[in-house]
Amino acid sequence: MPVEDRARGERHLVAAAAEQDAKALRLLGRHLLTVLAPEEADRRIGEKLEQEEREARRKVSLKFRSNGDGTMSGTFKLPTLQARMLEKIVNALVAPARVGPEARHDEEGRAVPQHELLGRGFVELIERFPRKKLPKAGGINATVVVTMTLEQLLGDLGVAGLDTGDEISAGEARRLCAGANLIPLVLGGDSVPLDVGRSRRFHDDYQRIVMGFSDKTCTVEGCDRPASWSQAHHKIPWADGGRTSVEDGRLACSFHHHRIHDKAYRAIYLDNGKIRLIRQ
């Protein structure tokens, strides 16, 4: 780089330092180098980026901690590329074109904060990620096992245990099992396994394919979440004698499946195959 160009660039940066912060100065310096010596700039920036990427891979981390109130918190540090990929995926899951106005507002009609919407999208991503694409551990795909007694499975209330030592409500366990992402391990009173993954209790893959071909999307009014991201729901609860069939099944996305099982809402099954949710 010619000496006069270097001196002119330095004077420009010194003058800008009075008005710009460190980040802006760094970007300005990079831009000046690109203008004055494009080939040298490309080489230096490339070396710097490679160094940053190596450091980022070394610093990557993910931590969890239980809050003791049914939630867990965590922190993560990811390379910029992978973090942006995750950001894009979660944003796509909660985009207005994918999530109807009902999901973007609470019961009082107030807009749900963006960070809560992103949290919901992250939860759905975890629940719906194809388990078969995960690496195997101990010969099986990464799987969360739910344990519950037959009475808890059949009843309206109750507690289910996870193989991690945590507990969830029996209703939440049944909802997740319906999505085929969890394996139900039904125990007798003496904790002896009675059945693992009863096919009659949950819709199988073939039934879900037929339901998806017919319904295309979540069947709750106003929702256009695709069938591939929806869970099979019994129109008549299985515990109340409902049949696990295509005719008596409905597809519901994770958000609306929660609402259907929420006692604050009443589900009305319409003749057109849709579900109307009314707050009670």
Per-residue DSSP letter, 246: S
- Whether the Cβ atoms of residue 268 and residue 275 lie closer than 8 Å to each other: yes
Distance CA 65, CA 109 (A): 32
Return the higher-pLDDT residue of 256 and 109: 256
- Whether the Cβ atoms of residue 141 and residue 131 lie closer than 8 Å to each other: yes
pLDDT of residue 46: 80
Q: Number of C-alpha atoms within 13 angstroms, CB side, residue 6?
A: 5
For 97-140, how does the pLDDT look when each residue is reduced to its tens digit (9 = 90+)? Answer: 666 666 777 777 788 888 988 998 898 888 777 766 666 544 54
| Sign of the dihedral defined by the CA atoms of residues 34, 31, 11, 47, in that order | negative
Q: Number of C-alpha atoms within 13 angstroms, CB side, residue 148?
A: 26
Whether 10 shows a pLDDT value over 90: the answer reads: no
pLDDT of residue 136: 58
What is the CB neighbour count within 10 angstroms for residue 225? 23
Residue in 162, 66, 190, 69 with CA at minimum distance from that of residue 170:
162
pLDDT of residue 95: 80
Lowest mean pLDDT among 20-34, 161-175, 253-267: 20-34
For 40-99, how does the pLDDT look when each residue is reduced to its tens digit (9 = 90+)? Answer: 667 777 888 888 888 999 999 999 999 999 899 999 999 999 999 999 999 888 887 666
Q: Alpha-carbon dihedral of residues 118, 123, 128, 130, nearest 10 degrees?
A: 100
Distance CA 153, CA 237 (A): 11
Average pLDDT rounded to a whole number, residues 234-250: 80
Distance CA 76, CA 224 (A): 32
